[in-house]
Amino acid sequence: MRLDRGERLPEGLAADRLLSLGVDLAVLGRVLIAGELVVELFEDLRGIADEMGEATPPALLRLRQDPRLRLREGQDVGGELDSMGFGNLVHAVLEEWGRGEIARIAAGDPPTIEREAIESDVLRVFDRFRQTKGMPQVRGAYEVQFALVRERLAAFARVQAERAEDGWQPIHVELTFTPEPKEGSGALPAPPLGTSGILLTGRIDRVDFHPQLGYAALDYKTSAEAKDPAAEHRMSRSGRWKDLQLPLYAVLLRSIGIEPSPSQLGYFALPSNPDGSCIRRTDGWDAGLVADAVSCAETIAGRVAAGDFSPDPAWGHNPDWKPDRADAFALVWGVGMRGLRAVPRSAAAAGPGGAP
C-alpha cells in the first residue's frame, strides 16, 4: 500500500488516523504529511497489540485507522465515563490548576508547597468544572467516578507539594504544537522532523523548571498502575523502541529553545491506588539514547514521506494471532477466514474423497 506525497483528503474529513507501518509508524506520534494529512498514533504500531503483545495485522489496523476509508465503529452511550473520559477530566482540572499556579508565580508569589493549599485549590477547580460543564445533576456511576477523581486529585496534591518543596515549578501546561497555530490560541508552530518535510505536532502536559536540574517534561498518567516510562518505550530484550512519546517531547521543546534533561522526561503517575502516585522518570537515559530515538523517528518520517507503508519484517508474524471478535472491523478484515489453506482448483472440483 502506498500513499502518494501530497495526496489530498476529502474536504471536512478529520484525518487523525493513518495506515499502520508496523511498529515504527505507530510510535511516531503526530505528523503532518505534505500539509494535508495528520497522523495521530501513540501506541506500538505492531499494534493496538493484545494483552500478550502479539502483532495485529497491518491490514486490520488500516480498517480501523485509514481516514480515506471513512469507516467508523458505532459506540454505545454508556452511563459512566470510559477510561479516556476519566483521564481527560483529570487532565482538564490539572491544566486549569497549572495555569493558575504559573500565573501566581509570574506575579511574584512563591510556588505553592503546602499540600493542603494545593489540594484545596485543585478540588476547587474540579468543583467549578462540575458547576460550569453541566455536571451538577449527574448521578449513579458518575458520582462514584467523581469521588475517584477527587481521590486522585488529593494524591496529586501530595506529590506536587513534595515536588515544589524540592525546587521544581511548572512553567508550561498543555504546551501545544500545531502546523498552523491560530492567533491567540497559545499554540506554537510544529517543528520539522529531520529532512522529511513532515511536521511533528503534539501536546505536552507539563514542563517544569529547576534552578539546578534544568527542565523536565511530564505526561499525566491516570492508568491503573504507575508504569515505568523506560519500560514503556523500549523492548526489554532487544532494546528496540516501541514508543517515542517522551523523546519526541524533547524534539518539540528544542524547537522553542528548551533542552530537557534526558533523565527528567517522565510520567506524573496518578494510578487507581492513590498511595502509588509518584513521578516516574527515565532514569538512566542519556543524550545518546534520546538521539537514537529521534533518529528512529526521522527514519519513520522518511518512510511516511516516501509513501512506504509496508510492514516491518523484523517484527515477524504470529500465525496463531486472533483479533477480538468484538472489534467492529474484524469481520471486514476476514476473521475466521484468514490462514485457511488454499485448495487447488482440481481438488475442489473433485469434491470430498476425490469423487467428481
Does any domain span residue 50?
A: yes
- The amino acid sitting at 294 is V
Does any domain span residue 228?
A: no
Does any domain span residue 58?
A: yes
Q: How many CA atoms lie within 13 A of 105 on its CB side?
A: 18
For the question of whether the overall pTM of this predicted structure is more than 0.85, the answer is no
Q: Where are the beta strands (DSSP E) in 90-232?
A: 169-178, 188-189, 199-210, 214-221
Q: Where are the beta strands (DSSP E) in 85-194?
A: 169-178, 188-189
Q: What is the pLDDT of residues 276-306, one digit of tens each?
A: 999 999 988 999 999 999 999 999 888 888 8
C-alpha cell, 1: 500500500
C-alpha cell, 259: 533542552
Can you give the pLDDT at residue 221? Answer: 94
Residue 341: burial class (beta carbons within 10 Å; 0-12, 13-18, 19+): exposed
Does any domain span residue 209?
A: no
Q: Which domain holds residue 60?
A: 23-74+306-345
User: Using CA atoms, how far apart are residues 327 and 94, in angstroms rounded to an integer?
Assistant: 33
Does any domain span residue 193?
A: no
DSSP symbols for 15-67: -------SHHHHTSEEEEETTTEEEEE-S-TTTS--TT-PPPPHHHHHHHH-G
Report the share of the chain in percent with pLDDT over 70: 62
- Average pLDDT taken over every residue of the chain: 76
**Could you report how far apart the first and last alpha carbons of the chain are, in Å?**
40
Which residue has better confidence, 43 or 236?
A: 236
Can you give the pLDDT at residue 132? Answer: 78
Tally of structural domains, the chain: 1
Q: Are 168 and 132 in contact (CB under 8 A)?
A: no
Q: Are 29 and 41 in contact (CB under 8 A)?
A: yes
- DSSP assigned state of 233: H
DSSP symbols for 60-109: HHHHHH-GGG---------SS--HHHHHHHHHHHHHHHHHHHHHHHHTTP
Does any domain span residue 212?
A: no
Which residue has better confidence, 60 or 309?
A: 309
Q: Are 64 and 329 in contact (CB under 8 A)?
A: yes
Does any domain span residue 329?
A: yes
Cell 499494534 sits on residue: 47
Q: pLDDT category, 326, cuts 50, 70, 90?
A: low
Question: Residue 193, SS3?
Answer: coil
Can you give the pLDDT at residue 223? Answer: 87
Q: What is the pLDDT of residues 61-99, one digit of tens each?
A: 666 666 666 566 554 445 556 777 788 889 999 999 999
Can you give the pLDDT at residue 219? Answer: 96
User: Using CA atoms, how far apart are residues 24 and 163, in angstroms rounded to an integer?
Assistant: 35
Does any domain span residue 171?
A: no
User: Using CA atoms, how far apart are residues 311 and 213, in angstroms rounded to an integer?
Assistant: 41
Can you give the pLDDT at residue 176? Answer: 95
